Amino acid sequence: MTRITDASVANHYLTSINSLKSSISLLQRQISSGNAVEKPSDSPSKAVTLIRNNDIINQINSNLNNIKTGLSFLNQTIFSLEVIQSEMLNVISKLTELEDPLKQKNLDNYADQIDQSLKIIMDVANTKADGKYVFGGTEILDAPFKFSNDNQTIEQSANSKGRINVKISSGVTEKINLTGVEVFGTILSGNGSFDKDASIGSVKNLEQDVYDSFGNQYSLQMQFEKVDEQKYEFTYVLLDSDNNVVQSSSSSNLLEFDANSGYLTSVDGKSSSELNISDSDRRINFFIDFQNLYESNSDTVYFQLNQQIDIFNTLNNISRNLRNGILPTADQKAEVYKFNIRVLEKLSEIGNVINQFNSFENMLNQQSFELQSINQEVGGVDVVKSIIDLQNKDYLLQITQKIAASILPKSLLDYL
Amino acid sequence: MAITKVFDIANRSLAVYRRAMDITSHNIANTNNPNFSRQRIVFSSDYTDLSSGIVWGNGVKIGDVLRYRDNFVETQSRIMNGKYHDTRRQRELITNIEKVFSEPSDLGLGNMIGKFFNSFSELAASPTSNPLRTSVLNAATNLASKVNLLNKSLNDVKENIKLEFDDKVKSVNNILRQLNQVNKDIKTNQIKRVSTNDLLDHRDSLLNELSKLVNINVTTSSDNTVSVSIGGSFAVDSHHITEFEMVDDNGYLSLRMKGGTNSAILTEGELSGLSSVYSSKVTSYKQKLDKIVNTIVEEVNKIHSTGYSKTSPTQTGLNFFEGYSDGILRINQVILKNPNLISISSDGTLGNGDLALRISEIMDKKLIDNSTIMEYYTTLINEIGNDGLLNKNLSEANQLVLDQLEQQKQISSGVSLDEEMTNVLQFQRSYEASAKLIKVSDELLKTILELV
């Protein structure tokens, strides 16, 4: 028969009581903290899940903040565009009225109204939100649009092309601003492809008419020389109507294309694909956009101007002409209509971005909620179950102590 | 047979049972001594006389005083003792390290890293915002503080382990000295034919203590002395004793004979646990932490140094972090003093936050061993958690076996008060019977004397 000594009874008692107290202590901590996983060794896989989920939740919160910032800016942009569009309707209305010979008697009055519209559009174009010019790109010090020193033309800042990108989800960034260039600027857009099989050293020449703020025509002679595989050097010469060189590139610009996709990857090593050509004396200011150029098996490169003169100078020219008794030309009217359509397009574009932001906001909120639910399941405490467990352990502890108190000291010695 | 012989037998019997009572008292007195092995008196009949062709008994004598000990259980117990104390100590140390990492919680490094990169993501949306720039610096300061705290704590853990290891080596040497002395005493007692039971208990207790510290191999010789080796290195016998010292050999903590060249191979015991955590685990954790922090510093600086500040005139070429060395992450002091020096503009315009966006995207890139920074960090936490869990499970399993072995020891060596009190009653009755015998003999003698 197994000998049971007094020490073994005592050891059993102590082991049981220690185990119960340890369980009670753990349950108490879990109930008060609400966390079942206090340290990685409680469950390494759960701890890792919680850390990853918490990181994603933090990222989601940060993205939600970005979305809020973005929406605020986008709403301000929408508001500005709506004012501009409303003013454009006024201008169109005035231009239509001017087609009526009866209304052509008081051109100065119309010139005043056009000037008023121009002022409103310029004020709105220079409006600020969250400390930034709505159409100022990344330039925050100078207003994007201003009258030239002689008040004859309106000048646009070259820095109003900067994009403000925000992260709205993992791996997803979205532009929250419309740059002054894309709304008001004169952009010469490159389209089509270079022949990737063309030999190194081959040259592609293109010519395009461009205009100054008064409407005078110039010729832009462009040259693309293939200097290496997927690499082209761009140079240009700007000639006036008498074929005099007005401006030429001080140095070449290097365009690089992706070897696999054929898409443009950089201009002079930067992701920005726009090049500004300006001459303040001659009131020339336009941008060349290479973004849509690519490399393929065929040579289809061409360039297209989005407008001859920007809306500010168009309205300014119309006003000046009216004061001189000259009615708006068909080209000027076309520019106004074209700009109005562009504003509508931009309103639609921004509306889409806002919708996208709203969708992402809903999605992120849902994601965050689900992750928090998972975290609760993985690392949370079932309080009811824990309290019942705690009561059970406490009951067992009392029983153990009671039994131990009555049994432990007993031996034959007690009965002698 | 003469009547006086009855006196001799009874007298001897009284002495034997009084001695038996002494042994029982010794057992009862040591009921709560965990190192004590119960002792039992072995009674045997005294030498017999042959007279007139009849064999006459001479009563009782003490044959031996036995010490109950199960050597197999004892050996197993020592092995499990070493394993238990190895895993228990590792578990305790890793639990301390876990506390420093504070995962999973808002105070963990994972959260600090995430917040640091998220602060850049938010700054990208409003690059000119001074509160957001300050928020980036706060997040960076929190990150640096946590990294520095982690490094300091890991260094403290290592330093404390080293001190503890050194103390425990002194304990090993102390136990070895005592074992050497006990071996000598056992030898002397045996020559003097004095019982060695209590010395053997003391010896076993010392071996038990030693097995908590290091893995030992014990060889018992015929004279009951022991020869002990530690991790393959001779430690002590009845003639010789080895003094050990702590050695930190290129970050590997070990035990070596003083003046020797080879280290003992530590596989069990607290010293093994301490060495394992010091030499392997903390080093591994620290290397992974360094990899994470170095990657952050390198990648952030690579982007930040190309950016333009918000100051007038704008500055470029500034590193965000001064560097990371000796476990200290330093933020560029000039940036700390002036948040406008955070350089996130890629083209020099103040509203450009492209680089802040690029810095925030560092978190999405697989930069360390084909993992993102957060994935790699969770690998580190997983490693710490698994080390802790493994040692927790092992230590619990070892404790269970150790408890069972202790139970086994109690079964053979433990003192049962019921048993001892029964013996007391038996010996008391025998003593009383012997006394009665003397009284009866006395009366017989009186009767004879009255006849005269």
**B259: how many CB neighbours lie within 10 A of its CB?**
8
pLDDT tens-place string over residues B347-389: 888 889 999 999 999 999 999 999 999 999 999 999 999 999 9
Residue B231: CB partners within 8 Å, gap ≥ 6?
B214, B215, B255, B263, B264, B265, B266, B267
Largest CA distance in chain B: 142
Q: Please indicate whether, in this complex, the C-beta atoms of B421 and A416 are within 8 angstroms of each other.
A: yes
Q: For an interface test with B, give the residue of A19, A29, A61, A62 to mutate (most B CBs within 10 A).
A: A62
pLDDT attached to residue A102: 85
SS3 labels along B417-429:
HHHHHHHHHHHHH
pLDDT attached to residue A14: 87
Q: Which of B201, B209, B200, B199 is nearest to B176 (CA)?
A: B209
What is the amino acid identity at position B405? Answer: L
Distances (CA, A) of B279 to B90, B157, B252, B262, B270: 12, 12, 5, 17, 14
Distances (CA, A) of A44 to A49, B95, B413: 9, 13, 42
Complete DSSP assignment for B344-381? -BSSS-TT--HHHHHHHGGGGS--BTTB-HHHHHHHHH
What distance in Å separates the CA atoms of residue A117 and residue A90, rounded to the nearest whole number? 8
pLDDT attached to residue B250: 87
Among A51, A166, A379, select the one facing B110 at the smallest CB separation: A51
What distance in Å separates the CA atoms of residue B216 and residue B213, rounded to the nearest whole number? 9
A1–B contact, CB cutoff 8 A: no
Q: Which of B382, B419, B340, B35 is nearest to B202 (CA)?
A: B35
Phi, psi of B56 (to 5 degrees): -105, 130
Among B101, B124, B349, select the one facing A166 at the smallest CB separation: B124
Among B114, B392, B417, select the one facing A412 at the smallest CB separation: B417
pTM of the predicted structure, to 2 decimals: 0.86
pLDDT attached to residue A413: 65
Which residues of chain B from 337 to 356 reach within 8 Å of chain A, CB to CB? 345-347, 349-354
What distance in Å separates the CA atoms of residue A69 and residue B293, rounded to the nearest whole number? 30
**A123: how many CB neighbours lie within 10 A of its CB?**
14
Q: How far is B370 from chain A (nearest CA, A)?
A: 17
What distance in Å separates the CA atoms of residue B152 and residue A302, rounded to the nearest whole number? 64
Q: Average pLDDT for residues B210-239, to the nearest whole number?
A: 94
Q: How many Cα atoms are found within 13 Å in the side-chain-facing hemisphere of A255?
A: 26
Q: Which two tokens stand for residue B374?
A: 């957060």
Q: Which residue of B has its CA nearest to A177?
A: B125
What distance in Å separates the CA atoms of residue B69 and residue A318, rounded to the nearest whole number? 117
Which residues of chain B from 70 to 99 reach within 8 Å of chain A, CB to CB? 94-95, 98-99
Among B34, B103, B127, select the one facing A40 at the smallest CB separation: B103
pLDDT tens-place string over residues B156-201: 999 999 999 999 999 999 999 999 999 999 999 988 888 889 999 9
Among A42, A59, A167, select the one facing B114 at the smallest CB separation: A59
Q: Which of B101, B105, B439 is nearest to B288 (CA)?
A: B101
What distance in Å separates the CA atoms of residue B399 and residue A397, rounded to the nearest whole number? 21
What distance in Å separates the CA atoms of residue B150 and residue B97, rounded to the nearest whole number? 9
What distance in Å separates the CA atoms of residue B373 and residue B371, rounded to the nearest whole number? 6
* pLDDT tier at B146, thresholds 50, 70, 90: very high
What distance in Å separates the CA atoms of residue A83 and residue A134, rounded to the nearest whole number? 13
Q: Average pLDDT for residues B208-218, to the nearest whole number?
A: 96
* pLDDT tier at B141, thresholds 50, 70, 90: very high
**B298: how many CB neighbours lie within 10 A of its CB?**
14
Distances (CA, A) of B218 to B35, B79, B223, B227, B263: 18, 11, 14, 6, 19
Q: Average pLDDT for residues B68-76, to the nearest whole number?
A: 90
Q: Tokens 């290496």 identify what position?
A: A228
pLDDT tens-place string over residues B15-24: 999 999 999 9
What distance in Å separates the CA atoms of residue B328 and residue B334, rounded to the nearest whole number? 17
What distance in Å separates the CA atoms of residue B245 and residue B168, rounded to the nearest whole number? 10
pLDDT attached to residue B1: 55
Complete DSSP assignment for B17-79? HHHHHHHHHHHHHTTT-TT---EEEEEEEPPPEEETTEEE---EEEEEEEE---HHHHHHHHH
Q: Average pLDDT for residues B221-225, to the nearest whole number?
A: 90
What distance in Å separates the CA atoms of residue A369 and residue A363, rounded to the nearest whole number? 10
**A313: how many CB neighbours lie within 10 A of its CB?**
28
Q: Tokens 């499990």 identify what position?
A: B80
Question: How would you classify residue A230: left for phi > 0, otherwise alpha for psi between -120 and 50, otherwise beta?
Answer: left
Q: Is the dihedral of CA B276, B279, B280, B286 positive or negative?
A: positive
What distance in Å separates the CA atoms of residue A6 and residue A152, rounded to the nearest whole number? 111
A103–B contact, CB cutoff 8 A: no
Q: Please indicate whether, in this complex, the C-beta atoms of A66 and B347 are within 8 angstroms of each other.
A: no
What distance in Å separates the CA atoms of residue A255 and residue A209, rounded to the nearest whole number? 22
pLDDT higher at A130 or B266: B266
pLDDT attached to residue B207: 96
Residue B208 burial (CB < 10 Å; 0-12/13-18/19+)?
A: middle
Q: Please indicate whether, in this complex, the C-beta atoms of A55 and B110 are within 8 angstroms of each other.
A: yes
ipTM at complex level: 0.85
pLDDT attached to residue B163: 97
Complete DSSP assignment for B373-393? HHHHHHHHHHHHHHHHHHHHH
Q: How does the average pLDDT of chain B come out, rounded?
A: 93
pLDDT attached to residue A132: 86
Tens of each residue's pLDDT in chain A, 416 residues: 678 887 888 888 888 899 999 999 999 998 998 888 999 999 999 999 999 999 999 999 999 999 999 999 999 999 999 999 999 999 999 999 999 888 888 899 999 999 999 999 999 999 998 888 999 988 888 889 999 999 899 998 877 788 899 999 988 999 999 999 999 999 999 999 999 999 999 999 999 999 999 999 999 999 999 999 999 999 999 999 999 999 999 899 999 999 999 999 999 888 777 888 999 899 999 999 999 999 999 999 999 999 999 999 999 999 999 999 999 999 999 999 999 999 999 999 999 999 999 999 999 999 999 999 999 999 888 899 999 999 999 999 999 888 888 776 666 666 66
